[in-house]
A and B are shown apart, each in its own frame.
Chain A
Amino acid sequence: MNKVFHSFSEAISDIQDGQTIIVGGFGLCGIPEKSIEALHNRGTKNLTIVSNNCGTDHSGLGQLLVTKQIKKMIASYVGENKIFEQQFLNGELEVELCPQGTLAERIRAGGAGIPGFYTATGVGTPIAEGKETKEFNDKTFLLEEAIVGDFALVKAWKADTLGNLVYRKTARNFNPLAAMAGKITIVEVEEIVEAGELSADEIHTPGIFVQRILLGTDYEKRIERLTVAEA
């Protein structure tokens, strides 16, 4: 099967209104810029987006807020985004806040065929409301459910033509988890090499999790907080 696509609009063309999309990235670091842009251009509506953050006002997933394409957001931190605030306060946007480690594990579990798991995170907090609990060794744990996406949008550094992926530095973050948890996983990279050119030892995500690969160009890679050492 040829996994390499040449057009982002084609690669995302079967994403339907109302579907659940898991999107990699942490802040604006390691986000699938080109796939988000294509989804923005296509105008797919009523999406449930699962991602640690929701971009900034006009960058990353923030672009999908501008066009009101997101119905529900599942995230751990959404603090950098005025449009998000506005739409939430207006009741236009549903939000499920999820502790970051729980979110990561819910996505990992989704990809790993585990429907739920217990965690101590959130016990005794508003996050526990309505959730089943269980005692292990006299300690209380919450039942958290896995997340599976109709699609996952992933950014990696390099791919081979089989979809084996290598990430770069902290741009890895949620991307390997998202890649596992998408029924169809669409990956954009900065370089595509022939199968066999990546060492089997260096591969972070095996290609079995990846259905579509695209080469992205002219990455913006916006920095949210530029901090430098004092000279």
Chain B
Amino acid sequence: MVERRLNIVKRAVQEIEDGMNVNLGIGMPTLVANEIPEDFNVLLQSENGLLGIGPYPIKGHEDADLINAGKETITTVSGSSFFDSAESFAMIRGGHIDLAILGGMEVAENGDLANWMIPGKVIKGMGGAMDLVVGAKRVVVIMDHVNKHGESKVKKTCTLPLTGQSVVNRLITDLAVFDFTNEGMVLVEVFPGVTVEEVIEKTEASFTIVPNLMMQ
């Protein structure tokens, strides 16, 4: 994994507190699981119907009836439970999941998130993302700050179809961390070696800077 992404993952894991029930999205968010401190009692939820995801199985011990939402073979931890998809989304929609960490394509300054569809490209579908963003108690998005063309993915308004409206609580990119508050979007941390000027330059969205900005 490139260092940039490893930094995002290592910062994202700090969002997880001991005792939480957490849903990690497909892709980069899944990698956060590897960084959770071993002495934490955290249950990871998989929206296909499992609370308590364990590590990948040892070769030869994989079970086709035991997969995560990314369709990967997994194991369970002690204390895990299985349930059907309606019960799974009752957990999600009903506000029982403490934290969802999801990937993003665009985040806007009002906390809008787009992460499921690019018009003109092949349709894939939203899966469980739209339910997670409205239902989880706290939504953290992790993504690169700019796209491969160098354009800011942190927007004034999203140009892509939305996954949810004003749903993001915190955004972690490879440059900085932002919070979304009633007073708007706030820069709360910048990564080592990154200047506030660089963050401003690479961010299309308007934001304020927290008074005691943490320079990591």
Contact = CB atoms under 8 A, between A and B. Distances in A.
Interface stretch (B6-14, B156-164, B195-203, B207-215): B156-164
A115 interface: no
A228 B125 contact: no
A123 to B, nearest CB: 6
A79 B130 contact: no
A123 B67 contact: no
Nearest to B161: A126
Given A29-B71, A79-B124, A223 B64 contact: yes
Interface residues of B, number: 50
A222 B55 CA distance: 20
A228 B134 contact: no
Given A170-B68, A227-B72, 9 more contacts: A80-B71, A99-B126, A100-B85, A101-B131, A119-B93, A127-B126, A171-B65, A172-B82, A229-B58
B159 to A, nearest CB: 13
B64 A121 contact: no
Interface string B46-58: 1111100001111
A134 B55 CA distance: 42
B88 interface: yes
24 contacts: A26-B85, A27-B67, A29-B64, A76-B127, A85-B123, A99-B127, A120-B93, A122-B130, A123-B134, A124-B162, A125-B161, A169-B65, A169-B66, A171-B64, A172-B82, A173-B48, A174-B85, A221-B64, A223-B62, A226-B72, A227-B57, A227-B74, A228-B56, A228-B59
A213 to B, nearest CB: 19
B84 A225 contact: no
**Which secondary structure dominates where chain B touches chain A?**
loop
A175 interface: yes
Given A100-B47, A224-B71, A228-B56, A125 B124 contact: no
A79 B123 CA distance: 7
Q: Which 4 A-B residue pairs are closest in the complex by CB-CB distance?
A: A101-B89, A124-B165, A101-B131, A79-B124
B2 interface: no
Interface in A153-178: 157, 167-177
A157 B64 CA distance: 13
A108 B86 contact: yes
Interface of A: 26-30, 52, 75-80, 85, 88-89, 95, 97, 99-105, 107-108, 119-127, 157, 167-177, 204, 221-229, 231
B124 A175 contact: no
Q: Give the most central of B65, B73, B161: most A CB within 10 Å.
A: B65
B184 interface: no
A77 B126 contact: yes
A100 B123 contact: no
B63 interface: yes
Contacts of A95: 123
